[in-house]
Structure formats: structure tokens, C-alpha cells
Amino acid sequence: MIKPLSGGFFDDEANPIQPCMVARPGLCLLCNYDETEDAEENLLCMMNRWDQRNDEVFVCGKFEKKK
């Protein structure tokens, strides 16, 4: 019997994803949303980074340069 997954984040093969281990591209370090206090925004950023982890170029439609 397959155990149901609960809590956390998982990839398409049901492997757990550790958010703190998802690499931050240089673009993220320059972004106003990087490490924001908004938990939902942090989640969306992490998911975007994970989705593009193997891409040669990182693209973010939400990028806003830090002031």
C-alpha cells in the first residue's frame, strides 16, 4: 500500500523538496521580493526557482530591482 504524502513540497515524482536547498540565481539576489516577509511570495519564488533549476537562463516575470 502506498502511503499518502502530507506536508511539505514535492516534485513530480513525489520526492520531497527542501526549500532552503533550492538555489537562488543572481537575479533573485537583486530582487525586491528576495526573502520578503510575505510567506506566499516566498513560496511562489521558491517554486519558480525549482521549476527552472535545470534551465540555462533564469527568467522571472515578477522581478523588481531592489531600491
| Domain boundary assignment for the chain | 22-67
3-state secondary structure of 12: coil
Please state, in angstroms and rounded to a whole number, the distance separating the CA atoms of residues 47 and 9.
Answer: 9
More confident position, 51 or 3 = 51
Average pLDDT, the chain: 90
Q: What is the pLDDT of residue 26?
A: 95
Closest of 61, 67, 66 to residue 45, by C-alpha: 61
Residue found by looking up cell 533573485 in the block: 28
The number of beta carbons lying within 10 Å of the beta carbon of residue 49 is 18
Q: Which pLDDT does position 6 carry in this prediction?
A: 64
What per-residue confidence (pLDDT) applies to 23? 94
Is the pTM for the entire model greater than 0.85?
no
The residue among 11, 40, 42 whose CA lies nearest residue 24 is: 42
